[in-house]
Amino acid sequence: MSTLISRKLLKLPKLLIYIILGASLLLNAFLLKQKSPADSVKVLGVIDGDTLVLAGKVRLRLRHIDAPELQFCGGQEAKTELEKMVSGKSVRIEEKIMDQQGRPMALVYQGSTLINQSMLESGWVRYHSDLTSRTDEIQAVADQAKAEHLGIYSPSCYQKENPDNPKCNIKGNIDKSTKVKKYYLPNCAQYNFTIVEKDIGEDWFCTEKEAQAAGFSRAETCK
């Protein structure tokens, strides 16, 4: 059969032969790429809201985002959100780098969807400053989620008053840059402006002793 086809091709003008062979090669390349994309990898599991386990048991963090620890407010919700987007699916990895701890991190696409951006749109993760080709649009959707009080910015995690027990009104606050833990009593100068962000481990306490046991010390602005 192949010999017969070859003989027929020889009878055709050379230009037409080149066109047919070129089209065949392009078609084969397209079908091969569709069947098994060279730049895709399967997601085996999700550790939390910003970390995947890829084929080969490789862990990969998503750039631009920080998810709550699983024990904190929003932690389980962030993990569930990410699982819905990628578990068992093939994803494309782009702009991969190593973080300060030597862990790989990247922009992750599922089809045409940028997972990093979709997670920030959900409101269940925080924006982490980073420099990629998508920085501006990613930061914009993160700001929008916060403005709309979604996810961790909803009253369930982001609180000025204690909705569960108003009598427990001591605010435990963690400095985001130094990680120093302070607590604020109602008579503290900054009390009214202090927000309890439960997704990063801040919390309400009923007594000073309880706050101190959790590793918080009284703020200097308290009387």
Would you name the residues annotated as active-site residues? Answer: 61, 69, 103
Dihedral of the CA atoms 9, 15, 20, 23 (nearest 10)? Answer: 160
In three-state secondary structure terms, 45 is strand
The length of the chain in residues reads 223
- Assess contact for 117 and 137: CB atoms under 8 A: yes
Instruction: Give the residue carrying structure tokens 């930061």.
Output: 139
Burial class (CB in 10 A: 0-12, 13-18, 19+), 168: middle
